[in-house]
Structure 1
């Protein structure tokens, strides 16, 4: 009898283990959620309305990185020559900048100016940031010459910049000095770390690219913990992310360059800061390939510029 009870308890344990390791949350948690997605694989901007799929669109855009709500119902996309601005509801192009060939990413700053990001660019070595005002007049150039790779930037509330550089992330001042940096863990191959965000407790959250996880670092640049999984979502490359008003993290789980990846993995994931996967959204392989950027629009005012606050949350400015 006791032997049978032990076998039963062991079986229950295995069921729980399988459930926690192999299941993923349903999209039903947010039946009315609205998403803006950047599909790198097909080079498209997607608008997804879970409650009204008839409003969805999938429009072609130039290759590039990052997306940001910039007000007036527009989203800005970094391109290889500058940026495009698109109408959020229709996907129509409303403005563009195409004279800065070699742009890697673009970001609208709190002062309303636009920062373009490049590498070995504008006659300077290393990471180069150029700031343009509303009339596209050059206001300043910031140079971090000791780095040979760059992806996204985020302006801190102090006016510094958090920048990802392959297996490193650093905070740079406008004068070109470095005030903080960290080395990513899990170095099986080049990480191509994507985005960094400063949190309210002073930690820095990084989407680790090919490490396929979030990595959290303290004020001294030491790794605190990491978040990923479960295996069923096929973590491959953690790219653009957003910190929601409730503190959760929504990240794009990119699956590879070019078309044909729409059946791979679950490409939009939401985690709590404790590392629990609480929501996920499975892409449509007939419409999408590999999602690189995500914005959850619920609760946001698309008529205002959005930046990150002192807690790292995306908020209107």
Structure 2
């Protein structure tokens, strides 16, 4: 075969691969990106610095959900008994609350208090929220009795709560009333919707769990569209996500419980709002199994509490 013909065939091959959507899925580049990851499979907190991998760490933490910057160089993680705050640069535990057995998730509010959520908890049916002050005293109890599970909570710009509950997402007021809700589109598996975030146009973005996609809903709760793929990244379970300052969505593509999933899929994905996979990061199978939560730290002040604003983006409180 001549050299010219060989080059031509290679060019055609790359073109076909590109058209098939199985070339490198990323068009963006973040050589210096820093991330906090929650590896549910190994129950570890990871710090990843792409420019300085010598700073990376992988520390064991209790089982639980979510990640949040809470100021003073700390990240808060929910546990089954409350929450822990850990030093972002080292992963060392700084403080913990472990007196609320049955906690499913924890979230710091704008007022500095902390919301804990549980199910059929504290003597009440359905979803129960406890708001704790800085001395861990219960300031209020909020109850949404008609829901059968709770995943994550996000405080809206108006002080309500966006809560995911299996195949539903709803907005609840502090008085326990429901002002908005939507049902995820039907899938072959139970969705286990993970996180919801209100967008600037009034739509609500939801990571659909086993739907393996993002789903958007309008102000009336009607389905708008979904975003996923391509197959090369093995979409399995869309879990924790963050809306970046460029408007893109970065999500953890969880692959299964326990160890041994590090070779499965590409577990950090970044999409444009138009649905294009803009960037991705492949986990190290020697260090990670199945990533459930992600926080991109670029441009954020680690000494400030961060809450999502009316655009759904993290801003210092």
TM-score for both structures, normalised by structure 2: 0.94
Match of 1:89 in 2: 89
CA distance in 2, matches of 1:27, 1:132: 44
| Cα offset, 1:189, TM superposition | 1.9
User: Does residue 256 of the first structure (1) align with residue 244 of the second (2)?
Assistant: no
| Cα offset, 1:155, TM superposition | 0.2
| Cα offset, 1:28, TM superposition | 7.3
CA distance in 1, matches of 2:217, 2:67: 24
Check whether the contact 2:82–2:97 (CA below 8 A) recurs between aligned residues.
yes
TM-score for both structures, normalised by structure 1: 0.94
Match of 1:50 in 2: 50
Check whether the contact 1:271–1:277 (CA below 8 A) recurs between aligned residues.
yes
Root-mean-square deviation over aligned CA pairs: 1.7
DSSP 3-state at the match of 2:125 = strand
| Cα offset, 1:27, TM superposition | 8.9
Match of 1:285 in 2: 285
CA distance in 2, matches of 1:86, 1:251: 22
- How many residue pairs match? The answer is 308
DSSP 3-state at the match of 1:239 = strand
CA distance in 1, matches of 2:137, 2:53: 41
Unaligned 5+ segments in structure 2 are 1-7
CA distance in 2, matches of 1:118, 1:93: 23
Deviations 1:253-302 (A, max 9, x none): 00000000000000000000000001000000000000000000000000
CA distance in 2, matches of 1:197, 1:300: 19
Moved over 6 A (4+): 11-14
Match of 1:176 in 2: 176
CA distance in 2, matches of 1:267, 1:245: 21
Match of 2:4 in 1: none
Check whether the contact 1:27–1:280 (CA below 8 A) recurs between aligned residues.
no
Unaligned 5+ segments in structure 1 are 1-7
Match of 1:126 in 2: 126
User: Does residue 237 of the first structure (1) align with residue 234 of the second (2)?
Assistant: no
